[in-house]
């Protein structure tokens, strides 16, 4: 393992999003805050999903995880497509890094950005509503795994896409719908039977539901089942990504 090379590429990716904090960290936190204020203003007192949990408090974990999901994906995917379009990807490929080290550097940087944004959303939200903690360990585990899954998916999208509009299509037609329809603003038990069944095929639902359990100790499905789904998703996507990197798919043409 070329630990120095791995750390250098990881550090480069962290610096990349750190140079534009207004866009990569502050803007997502403000967006989540706007969602919180609007939905809390409209539905607080009119809707209670879990017994003893206010709707505003219920919203916070979902908004945190949605922000983690979207920003972890954006970090790895945008970095790869920018490098491909500008032509500087060749300098990374020429470095003495294996495909595994290349993968780890990008995914870990995505995890860092996703978790920082999630913490930022929480830091702002606690000024408006008290949030309990049921299991900090589960919170950290689901936060790490979810950001790793989306960082990996972002690599797949970044490798596959050849233009910015292709990447935008991937994000707008896959990532955004799955994140908004994953139980951020509601419990799936409030849906008709057909939509409940359909929601259970959405892996983002298990990320949010398990993460929410870490705060309140209640969830729509078992947190162990959610953890299994997220973990298996990460293993499958990791295998696909490593195969793409090893083959040089759309990278060494």
Token pair listed for 48: 């209670």
* pLDDT digit string, tens, across residues 69-87: 999 999 999 999 999 988 8
- What is the model's pLDDT at position 180? 86
E-assigned strands of 167-224? Answer: none
| Residue 246 predicted with pLDDT over 70 | yes
Mean pLDDT value across residues 227-246:
96
Per-chain mean pLDDT for the chain: 91
The DSSP letter of residue 33 is H
Rounded to whole angstroms, what are the CA distances from 250 to 6, 13, 90, 104, 243?
Answer: 22, 21, 12, 19, 12
Prediction pTM value: 0.94
Alpha-carbon distance 105 to 127, whole Å? 34
182-212-118-127 Cα dihedral, nearest 10 degrees: 120
When pLDDT is cut at 50, 70 and 90, the band that residue 251 belongs to is confident
Alpha-carbon distance 210 to 206, whole Å? 6
* pLDDT digit string, tens, across residues 139-162: 999 999 999 999 999 999 999 999
Non-local CB neighbours of 182 within 8 Å, separated by 6+ positions: 62, 66, 199, 202, 204, 205, 207, 208
């Amino acid at each position: 393992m070329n630990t120095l090379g791995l750390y250098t590429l990881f550090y480069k990716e962290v610096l990349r999003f750190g140079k534009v904090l207004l866009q990569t960290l502050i803007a997502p936190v403000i967006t989540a805050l706007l969602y919180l204020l609007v939905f809390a203003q409209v539905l607080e007192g009119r809707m209670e999903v879990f017994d003893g949990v206010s709707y505003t408090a219920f919203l916070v974990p979902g908004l945190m995880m949605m922000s983690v999901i979207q920003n972890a994906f954006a970090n790895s995917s945008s970095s790869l497509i920018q490098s491909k379009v500008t032509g500087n990807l060749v300098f990374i490929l020429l470095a003495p890094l294996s495909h595994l080290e290349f993968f780890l550097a990008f995914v870990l940087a995505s995890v860092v950005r996703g978790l920082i944004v999630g913490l930022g959303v929480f830091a702002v939200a606690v000024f408006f509503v008290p949030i309990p903690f049921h299991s900090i360990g589960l919170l950290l585990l689901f936060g790490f795994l979810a950001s790793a899954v989306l960082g990996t998916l972002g690599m797949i999208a970044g490798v596959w896409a050849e233009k910015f509009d292709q990447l935008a299509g991937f994000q707008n037609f896959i990532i955004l719908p799955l994140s908004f329809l994953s139980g951020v603003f509601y419990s799936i038990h409030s849906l008709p039977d057909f939509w409940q069944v359909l929601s259970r095929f959405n892996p983002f639902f298990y990320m949010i539901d398990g993460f929410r359990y870490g705060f309140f100790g209640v969830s729509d499905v078992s947190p162990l089942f959610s953890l299994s789904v997220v973990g298996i998703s990460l293993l499958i996507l990791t295998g696909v990504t490593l195969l793409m990197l090893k083959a040089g798919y759309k990278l060494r043409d």
